[in-house]
Chain A
Amino acid sequence: MENFQSHLAQNRYDRQLSPPIEMAMENDNHNLSADKHITDIDPLVSAIIKVANQRDKAAFGYLFSHFMPKIRAFGLQRLNQQGLAMDLVQETMTTVWTKSHLYNADKGSVATWVFTIMRNQCFDMLRRVQHNREDAFGDDIWPLYDVAVSQDNNQDHKLTAKLLVHLDALPLAQRQVVQGIYMQELTQQELADALKVPIGTIKSRLRLGLEKLKSFLETQHD
């Protein structure tokens, strides 16, 4: 069990450190130091790794139990309403569940990561309550992950980065499909199954999304 866990943690480590393109080269280079690192791992970190890699429900239950009362207390204090505090718990823990793969142990503790998610969410909820605005600025103000600066001059890389900037501008439905196909390398059928839509819908979203991205790039190069 111990070994199994270390192995998973090691994979996860690679995933965080290197962009997908370079991953193959990075393998097996730092097994020793990583194993050493894993032996005194904090239970919150190992729980989040299990959630990220295996969608482990028991591990998530542990995280939920750990953070829920504190998020609720924070929500009550800031938002001043039971229902909104519940919403804050729900929104924060949903992000922990769906984006656990974005947690990077090198960047800080699990508590700091969850705090960041919670504070950002609370910021947007407060604007919703006070200004009746459905905007989402929290994650732009305090990014949940590193804002990477391109380190090499690889043209592909740059183009990818440029495209990714524009991905945000695509409607959610198109964005999911473009990301699924080009970044996660899923097949159209796998995406259709995951999103529970017919494959024809995937095809048309992909076409629309790519056309839109193309037009963004063209206007930028003018």
Chain B
Amino acid sequence: MIKHHPHAELLQAHALGELPLSMSIAVAAHCALCQECQTQIAKLTEQAAKLVFVSSGDDEVQHNASNEIDVVDNAPWQQMLSNIMALPESTMSEPYIESSVTVSHRNTRYQIPRVFRQHIAQPWQQIGKVSRMRFDMDEKNTRASLLHIEALGEIPQHTHKGFELTLLLSGEFSDSTGHYVAGDFIILDGNTQHSPITQTGCLCYTVLDAPLYFTKGISKLLNPIGELIY
């Protein structure tokens, strides 16, 4: 059972599309594994849509009518409108999408959330029982990767300057603070030391921080997380 979820404000920022790619993928992948957070995101998205699209208080009908006149009188908008309507309907029919994609490593195939679809073509790099597939996100100091640890593998004790996010995708691991299962979303701040060990092997998505994001307002979201989770 998943015990560790993204912080409420992180979910909110995700619904608004305010997180960088690496973190958006993490939250989306967690939601693909966690019904509870998925429901929460749906609610937050609906609220965000209301906030953006539903005008507060004033008469909707009148509001629309005046906008309509705007469009009619405004040549560039008229032009855009007719350009759009000149396009044919998309040939895409009712989409039938699988919820997961497969990533293979060392003869094992893992089904992971579909959000990783466009990122898993990178090569694995292996040192002992630990392998890493670094994603190409182009986010300055942020490094996002898949991390694979074979059975009985261990990551040496480490700390980070910023934060470290681990989303467990498959298998299990433990560290001094607890035991984790697939779907657990764990954020550690720079002060926490840990050395995860896995009995049966595991596959994780990890994001190592960019100090840059801390200076840009997301710090507010990430700073309290360490305390909240542990």
The interface of chain A, by Cβ under 8 A from chain B, is 15-16, 19-20, 55, 57, 60-62, 64-70, 74, 86, 89-90, 93-94, 97-102, 108-109, 111-112, 114-116, 118-120, 122-123, 127, 131, 133, 135, 137-138, 140-143, 145, 147-150, 160-162, 164-165, 168, 176, 179-180, 183-184, 194
Please, how many angstroms separate the alpha-carbon atoms of A133 and B180 in the complex? Answer: 35
A68 CA to B89 CA, complexed, in Å: 20
- Taking a contact as CB atoms under 8 Å apart, the answer to whether B50 and A135 are in contact is no
Q: Give the residues in chain B near A138, CB-CB below 8 Å.
A: 17
B54 within 8 A of A: yes
Inter-chain contact A148/B96, CB cutoff 8 Å: yes
B221 CB → nearest A CB, Å? 17
Complex: how many Å from CA A55 to CA B85?
9
The DSSP consensus for interface residues of chain B is helix
Chain B contacts for A120, CB-based, 8 A: 17
**In the complex where A116-B45, A119-B16, A184-B93 touch, is A65 in contact with B70 (Cβ < 8 A)?**
yes
- Interface flag for B138 (CB, 8 Å): yes
The 8 closest A-B pairs by CB, nearest first: A115-B49, A119-B17, A98-B90, A112-B49, A65-B68, A111-B53, A183-B93, A111-B49
- Return the contact of B70 from the options A69, A162, A180 (Cβ within 8 A): A69
21 example contacts (A-B, Cβ-Cβ < 8 A) are as follows A64-B81, A68-B67, A90-B84, A101-B89, A102-B94, A111-B49, A111-B52, A112-B49, A115-B45, A116-B49, A119-B48, A137-B24, A141-B24, A142-B45, A147-B99, A148-B98, A149-B98, A164-B98, A165-B101, A168-B117, A194-B91
Chain B residues near A141 (CB-CB < 8 A): 24-25, 28, 115
* A168–B70 alpha-carbon span in the complex (Å): 39
Residues of A within 8 A of B117 (CB): 140, 168
Asked if B80 is at the interface (CB within 8 A of a chain A CB), the reply is yes
A109 to B52, CA, bound (A): 13
Q: A74-B52, A94-B84 are in contact. Are A15 and B94 (CB under 8 A)?
A: yes
Known A94-B84, A97-B87, A98-B89: A62·B68 in contact at CB below 8 Å: yes
**Measured between alpha carbons, how far is A184 from B92 in the docked complex, in Å?**
8
Which residue from chain B places its CB closest to the CB of A176 in the assembled complex? B91
Report the minimum CB–CB distance from A192 to chain B (whole Å).
Answer: 13
Whether A140 pairs with B115 at a CB distance below 8 angstroms is yes
The CA of A120 and the CA of B115, in the complex, are separated in Å by: 13
Question: Does B108 belong to the interface (CB within 8 Å)?
Answer: no
A65 to B61, CA, bound (A): 12
Does B118 interact with chain A (Cβ within 8 Å)?
yes
Chain B residues 72-129 with CB under 8 Å of chain A are 76-77, 80-81, 83-85, 87-99, 101, 114-115, 117-118
Listed residue (B49, B70, B80) with the most chain A CB atoms within 10 angstroms of its CB: B49
Which residue of chain B is the closest to A185 with respect to CB atoms? B93
CA gap between A115 and B25 in the complex, in Å: 19
**Least distance between A160 CB and chain B CB atoms (Å):** 7
Please give, as numbers and ranges, the residues of chain A lying within 8 Å of B17 by CB-CB distance: 119-120, 122-123, 138, 142
Residue B64 is within 8 A (CB to CB) of chain A in the complex: yes
Please indicate the chain A residues that have their CB under 8 angstroms from the CB of B229 in the complex: none
Q: Please tell me which one of the listed residues A20, A66, A133 contacts residue B138 in the complex, with CB atoms under 8 A apart.
A: A133
Bound Cα distance A98, B184 (Å): 38
Which residues, 213 to 229 on B, are CB-close (under 8 Å) to A?
A: none
Of the residues A66, A109, A168, A180, contact of B67 by C-beta under 8 Å: A66
Cα distance, A27 to B97, chains bound together (Å):
24
Chain A residues with CB under 8 Å of B94's CB are: 15-16, 19-20, 101-102
Asked if B2 CB lies within 8 Å of chain A CBs, one says no
- Cross-chain contact B49 with A142 (CB below 8 angstroms): no
Given known A-B contacts A115-B49, A141-B28, A194 and B67 have beta carbons under 8 A apart? no
> In the assembly, what is the distance between CA of A194 and CA of B24, in Å?
37
Find out whether the CB atom of A65 lies under 8 angstroms from the CB atom of B45: no
